Amino acid sequence: MKTLKIPEATIIRLSVYSRYLTEVDRKGIITISSGEVAEGVGVSPAQVRKDLAYFGEFGTRGVGYNVKDLHRHILKILGLAQDWSVTLIGLGNLGLALNSYKGFRERGFIITSVFDNDPQKVGTIVNGVEVMPIEQLEEIVAANKTQIGIIAVPSAVAQDIADKLVVSGVKAILNFAPGVLNVPPEVELRNVDLAVNLEVLTFNVGAQRF
Amino acid sequence: MKTLKIPEATIIRLSVYSRYLTEVDRKGIITISSGEVAEGVGVSPAQVRKDLAYFGEFGTRGVGYNVKDLHRHILKILGLAQDWSVTLIGLGNLGLALNSYKGFRERGFIITSVFDNDPQKVGTIVNGVEVMPIEQLEEIVAANKTQIGIIAVPSAVAQDIADKLVVSGVKAILNFAPGVLNVPPEVELRNVDLAVNLEVLTFNVGAQRF
DNA sequence: ATTGCTTAGTGATATAATTAACTTACTCTA
DNA sequence: TAGAGTAAGTTAATTATATCACTAAGCAAT
């Protein structure tokens, strides 16, 4: 099995291309060149071609790419040909926002279970899903064969939730709690730290100092 | 003025180190080595030293770094020696979550104004700040000399809001709307696309295919 | 068919970032 | 105060990523 290493930056760009192609397709455009994609998402044409070249040949020389066809290929590459069962832990403000975030369902991420330890919240229905107590996490997530967990709890309990998700068999975790989580290597982990993003900005705003 | 290029990855790590140092300092630990920091945040010791070396010499050979001192230096580097005035546009679920996000204030990001175009929301007070109509954005943001804008509106109107922020004089924009925004080069822009993060995960979960 | 134009695919080159290895400096002990 | 041990700082090597420039392939017009 060929396992050539693909840069994460490439994956992120593919995701961006795919969103752009949705837009282009909606306009009824049939064919698009690497240059036009590049222009649309703000990268170089060579970058677009290189990114795609990791996965095959999707275009026609002298012509460009068929929009629908390319879009389908990229979705397949990103693993979005299927839906994904997602569990969300933590129904604070951020958890609530994530639970109702349209972008997830549009891309095939279906939140199939939601957990919180606040007795006031447990038993209520949010977005069609009943909030369950954390104690039942392992049981429910394992039974549903849920592949992805989203952690939106305070940092102090994030590692505990991550451990529970791991034993329940999730393959990937998206963590919104600041701080470092430890998970076994076979579980994919990504951290989104909202404050870090602001700090990169403030650094750059003042960066003429260096 | 020396303008050597510093990798963005370095800035992100500095932000992570700084959070870790807060924790270490709270435990009353006085001195820490690059190896211990590395261990704590999951990178290599050489990486820690390299990252810091861009900005000066903060440690003592044979000893390590003074925790408080290093922490202070990193905050200074990140531009967090001062508070930042932030404006938030869009009070949907995500906007509400961001508005009440503790991590921002802790790091010196003060949300000084909030805008929405829903008449039901305008005039209400959220987290001590009155929600104002978008029409008054330019006036208020300019008057407050707000440096950072957070966009949490639907994609369709994100560019329009970005334009308004730019003319109001913000130096940096954190955008949560999917899609590409155009801003002049002197304005720093960062995009946080929540679905992209999930897509990197799903790619990696299925990546043995390549 | 031939020519010119366009654009994907690709190998070579350049740049950037990370890791490793080495050098210097400080502390502590005998 | 000499020597062992430790850990920061720094230079060099390696690896990864992005850019460039070329080649090949298809299309349109004559």
- Which bases along strand C come within 7 Å of a protein CB atom? 5-11, 16-21, 24-27
Average of pLDDT values for A53-64? 96
Say whether residue A210 is in contact with chain B using an 8 A CB cutoff. yes
Domains and CATH numbers, chain B: 8-77 (1.10.10.10), 84-196 (3.40.50.720)
| pLDDT value of residue B2 | 45
Distances (CA, A) of B46 to A5, B38, B74: 24, 8, 17
Contacts of B1 in chain A (CB under 8 A): 208-209
3-state secondary structure at position A133:
strand
Q: Is B26 on the interface with A (CB under 8 A)?
A: no
pLDDT of residue A1: 39
The SS3 assignment for B131 reads strand
Residue of A nearest to B206 (CA): A79
Q: Tell me what the mean pLDDT of segment A41-60 comes to.
A: 97
Give me the tens of pLDDT residue by residue for chain B, a chain 210 residues long.
445 689 999 999 999 999 999 999 999 999 999 999 999 999 999 999 999 999 999 999 999 999 999 999 999 999 999 999 999 999 999 999 999 999 999 999 999 999 999 999 999 999 999 999 999 999 999 999 999 999 999 999 999 999 999 999 999 999 999 999 999 999 999 999 999 999 999 999 986 555
Interchain proximity B200–A54, CB inside 8 Å = no
Distance A31 CA to D29 C1' (A): 21
Q: Specify the pLDDT at position B5.
A: 86
Q: Where are the beta strands (DSSP E) in A108-159?
A: 109-116, 125-126, 129-133, 148-151
Question: Predicted confidence band at A5 (pLDDT cuts at 50, 70, 90)?
Answer: confident
pLDDT band at A3, cuts 50/70/90?
A: low
Residues whose C-beta lies under 7 Å from strand D: A 5, 7-10, 43-44, 46-47, 49-50, 60-63; B 32-35, 45-46, 49-50, 52-53, 57-65
For range A41-49, the mean pLDDT: 97
CA–CA separation, A42 vs A134, rounded Å? 43
**In which band, very low, low, confident or very high, does the pLDDT at A81 lie, cut at 50, 70 and 90?**
very high
Q: Quick one: pLDDT at residue A2?
A: 44
Best CA proximity match to B189, nearest among B163, B154, B153 = B163
- Chain B 93-122, CB below 8 Å of chain A: which residues? 93-94, 96-98, 100-101, 103-104, 106-107, 109
CA distance A12 to chain B (A): 6
Q: Which of residues 69-88 of A touch strand C (CB under 7 A)?
A: none
Distance from CA of B10 to the nearest CA of A (A): 10
Q: Do A196 and B16 touch (CB under 8 A)?
A: yes
The overall longest dimension of chain A from CA atoms, in Å, is 63
Measuring alpha carbon to C1', the residue closest to nucleotide C21 is B46
- Distance from C-alpha of B35 to C-alpha of B106, rounded to nearest angstrom: 27
* Contact flag, residue A35 CB and nucleic strand C, below 7 A: yes
Closest partner residue to B201 (CB to CB) among A3, A6, A174 is A174
Question: Is the CB of B7 less than 7 A from some atom of nucleic acid strand C?
Answer: yes
Q: d(Cα A148, Cα B200) in Å, to the nearest integer?
A: 12
What pLDDT sits at residue B4? 67
Q: What is the mean pLDDT of residues A57-66?
A: 96
CB pairs under 8 A between A and B: 187
Computed over every residue of chain A, the mean pLDDT equals: 95
**Whether pTM exceeds 0.85:** yes
pLDDT of B1 reads 40
A206 touches chain B (CB under 8 A): yes
Chain A interface includes B192 (CB < 8 A):
yes
Residue A75 has pLDDT above 50, yes or no: yes
CA(A4)–C1'(C29) in Å?
Answer: 53
Of B11, B193, B195, the CB nearest to A203: B11
Cβ-nearest to A198 among B8, B54, B104: B104
Contact across the interface for A203 and B54, Cβ inside 8 Å: no
d(CA B16, CA B11): 9
Distance from CA of B96 to the nearest CA of A (A): 7
**pLDDT per residue over B53-71, tens digit each?**
999 999 999 999 999 999 9
Beta strand ranges found along chain B (DSSP E): 31-32, 59-60, 64-66, 84-89, 109-115, 125-126, 129-132, 148-151, 172-175, 188-191
CA distance linking residue B102 with residue B183, whole number of Å: 28
